[in-house]
Structure 1
């Protein structure tokens, strides 16, 4: 060692943690169950041991819901967990998140109906070729009967919905409480549709669930399929949500199973089988495939058709599929009555329906004393928005409200009919207004002629003094440009 060179730090005599880790990670085959079961049987030789997968019977969730109590009984050095930061579900309420333990291995004392159980939880490997992760609970008690009773009640609770909706996404089912809360706010009175079609949809759904005896008496399968189709933004999704709420308000309630996406990793056969297995087990139920055309591709079609119309019974399943492109659906799906018996077209709204939609917004904003929203504005907006979907109408209204709200004096702004921009001050108003940006408009004469021809029958002195009407006209013009309509 040369002068000035620091001495090397001596290596530890042994590194047991590293040795154990590499031995475990490089083993040709590992099975966590074998290790844990053997250790627990030695530790508790007089107790009965049961191994329960968490996904089918979640004792942690069962206890957290107040049906049992759990307390840790191992020492901190014997416990393995991750300390994780959980982001807030919604920052609007000032939440910043929280720290939480993600348990990998731990032992608990579980108290249920006056009986005590030892419960060990371990996350590990099942020994398969691809080494999938398993999460098992190991329950020890004095008798098999006591354990079975606990597991039956906890298992039944785990597989029931508790203000939740089943959502299939990425290859597995999960319970979604947030979607359920959103659905409970969706009501048919908020859905603007042709009244005849709305009544038919509501009746179709109720009649199906009320007619089980009729189906059985006629010896036909108690199942039904409906397709909602038409251009986007015209009420298909809100109608599905309103139906979900309608069914949850029945007695007994009918649960919804919502298919968000299929699993590309697991394969189409696995996804379709998993979806319909839960639907048959949950029936009677409402099974929703939104954007059906993008989900049931050529690779999936045969599995889907077999699940819908194959040997297995689908009694009690009302299946709904929505699509913006009916022509992209295979004829075996779109035109075979035994699969989808009824189709409802959701077209762009008529002028009458557009008027109803603007009236809906007028009602929503009726408590806003600062906003002038006269009755005659509703048909006026409907008249200048032919070809608009409900989504485009909503954008026109919302964008107008936001534009007015940007400025404390927004309600005093005037819309320039030349440049379609709002100005605080104009010399004159209406057709005689002088635009401060007029020098920048090279086709002023042509535009003025077109505007005069197309807007002459829409002029109303009362409306021209309404800031919301002026702003809506501006937003409608912008949306028409987006749609590619000539001005």
Structure 2
């Protein structure tokens, strides 16, 4: 061997499966399935072969859950894998992520209930335009009965939810453990609504799932549709999540199917078919369309209406759709009975509901010994926040708490009420007592006058001694100016 040259020794020949796969993948191809099956028959002439798409019956997920053991049996040169980095689900967890293999071609030994199976995994094409790439699992065993038993049990497990929620996005259903975890933190006790409406919403849904026999006795379809509508930030989403949580806690849990979008590579009509196919199979279920007006547009309206109220039965499906713009919904959806039967308006909260919301925050902050939150602050805040949504109320409270925490840490910069920008409010931008940016506030005179009049006429002078009140009043003033500009723009 001379300098700068390398000699290699020929290794053992590849097995037939690997050889045919690499040969097939390096040239124009139509159906990977046929190539792999033929190669496996040559490698294992004595075993029975069953082909199973990984989507819908994932043997790897089944084994990872502890129901079977799986180990690679092929050589490294006979495998095709992608090494991928999985970032941590949450940076605050302290973890940095992990490396994982995405298998394009591999062979494994699966041990299940004392029986062994050879499982080959291959990614390729199935010969159609709709699904250009698929991953199939090729199960080899001594008998058809043994394979069928394995596939039935793993298929049943894969079709069930395990602390997950079905989410439709990108044209297919997937299971989300993250959404399920989020829903577990949503309770009706945290939902501030008119008590009569809250009870009506809860009983409407609970009674539906309790009344199957009544519907059947009356010879009417056991299905229902509800619309939540109103300006944003007033409890539609949290009400849906609280309902999802309570349905999961029933003696016989009711699963949720959550639709984010109809967009898919195969078109929205395909998506609607996929959505209602799973809903009918999963029923009784709670089928959620959030932002219904953006999901169902003119292009798919008729197809959607046919799926909702066509010849196919939707027994056991309770649909709920939320929208900030009821006027944008087609009358065939919003006004036609038997599609969406009930509509609940979520308006901006009145003074009593705003006071309840502040009491909710008072309970949340009860263990904070550094912050005074007297009872009289709740009606006082309710009195100065007319026209606020719950989202604006939350912003006022959260921004106030952050400002108080920042000041406690020694920061002197804050939001200046003259220019609505952040700088040292004690000396102005240039060190003077007057802010140079005051002229930027278009509504300055109006809001200053309203603030002064309300303080003189309706405020308790003792509230001035509480830092939380002073900060909330400041944040409310800023938010009201934003609301004024929005209304002026409209």
Taking structure 1 as the reference length, the TM-score comes to 0.89
> 1: distance between equivalents of 2:478 and 2:93?
35
Q: In 1, are the aligned partners of 2:88 and 2:96 still within 8 Å (CA)?
A: yes
CA contact (8 A) 1:414 1:425 kept: no
Q: Supply the distance in 2 between the matched residues of 1:126 and 1:413 (Cα, whole angstroms).
A: 63
Give me the whole-angstrom Cα distance separating, in 2, the residues matched to 1:233 and 1:348.
8
Cα shift at 1:135? 0.4
Match for residue 436 of structure 1 among 417, 430, 433: 433
Please give the per-residue CA displacement for 1:149-175, whole angstroms capped at 9, x wherever unaligned.
000000000011000000000100000
After superposition, the Cα gap between the structure-2 partners of 1:417 and 1:296, relative to the gap in structure 1 and judged at 3 Å, is closer
Q: How does 1:234-313 map to 2 (within 5 A)?
A: 234-313=234-313
8 Å CA contact 1:413–1:467 kept in 2: the answer is: no
Deviation at 1:116, TM superposition (A): 0.8
Cα distance in 2 for residues equivalent to 1:264 and 1:385: 43
**Who is 1:223 aligned against?**
223
Report the 3-state secondary structure (helix = DSSP H, G, I; strand = E; otherwise coil) of the residue aligned with 1:174. Answer: strand
What aligned pairs does 1:140-179 form with structure 2 within 5 A after superposition? 140-179=140-179
Equivalence for 1:360? 360
Change (3 A) 1:315 1:151: same
Instruction: Go from structure 1 to structure 2 and tell me whether the alpha carbon gap of 1:171 and 1:412 turns closer, same or farther (over 3 Å shift).
Output: closer
> SS in structure 2 opposite 1:60?
helix
**1:76-225 matched pairs, under 5 angstroms:** 76-129=76-129, 132-225=132-225
Match of 1:472 in 2: 472
Cα–Cα, structure 1 residues 26 and 409, in superposed 2: closer, same or farther, change >3 Å? closer
Cα contact 1:70–1:110 (8 A) shared by 2: yes
* CA spacing shift, 1:480–1:450, aligned 2, 3 Å: closer
Residues 228 and 236 of structure 1 are in contact (CA less than 8 Å); yes or no, is this contact kept in structure 2?
yes
SS at match of 1:399: helix
Q: CA deviation at 1:23?
A: 7.3
For residues 414 and 185 of structure 1, do their structure 2 counterparts lie closer, same or farther at Cα, with a shift above 3 Å needed?
closer
Report if aligned partners of 1:169, 1:260 keep a CA contact under 8 Å in 2: yes
Tell me the equivalent position of 1:407: 407
- Within 5 A, what are the aligned runs for 1:1-16? none
Name stretches of at least 5 consecutive residues in structure 2 with no aligned partner: 9-19
- The 3 A distance-change label for structure 1 pair 409 and 125 is closer
What SS does structure 1 have at the residue aligned with 2:287?
Answer: strand
The aligned residue for residue 3 of structure 1 is: none
SS in 2 for 1:51: strand
Q: Deviations over 1:286-310 (max 9, x none)?
A: 0000000111100010010000000
Partners in 1 of 2:148 and 2:446 — Cα distance? Answer: 84
Alpha-carbon shift at residue 458 of structure 1 (Å): 3.2
Could you tell me how far 1:265 is from its partner in structure 2? 2.9
CA change 1:459–1:138 in 2 (3 A) is same
| Partner SS state of residue 123, structure 2 | strand
Determine if contact 1:106/1:121 at 8 Å carries over to the other structure: yes
Supply the distance in 1 between the matched residues of 2:412 and 2:275 (Cα, whole angstroms). Answer: 56
- Structure 2 partner of 1:316: 316
RMSD: 3.1
Q: Deviations over 1:64-109 (max 9, x none)?
A: 0000011111111111111111111110111211111111111111
Instruction: Deviation per CA, 1:206-265: give whole Å up to 9, x if none.
Output: 100000000000000000000000000000000000000010000110000000011253
CA distance in 2, matches of 1:167, 1:226: 19
Residue equivalent to 2:325: 325
Alignment of 1:28-67 (within 5 A): 28-67=28-67
Cα distance between partner residues in 2 of 1:26 and 1:441: 69
CA contact (8 A) 1:104 1:123 kept: yes
CA distance in 1, matches of 2:393, 2:410: 21
Contact 1:247 1:254 in 2 (8 A): yes
Residues 167 and 174, structure 1, Cα contact 8 Å, conserved in 2: yes
Offset of residue 449 of structure 1 = 5.1
**Which residue of 1 is the match for residue 396 of structure 2?**
396
Closer, same or farther: CA 413–293 of 1 in aligned 2, 3 Å: closer
Q: What secondary structure sits across from 1:299 in the alignment?
A: coil
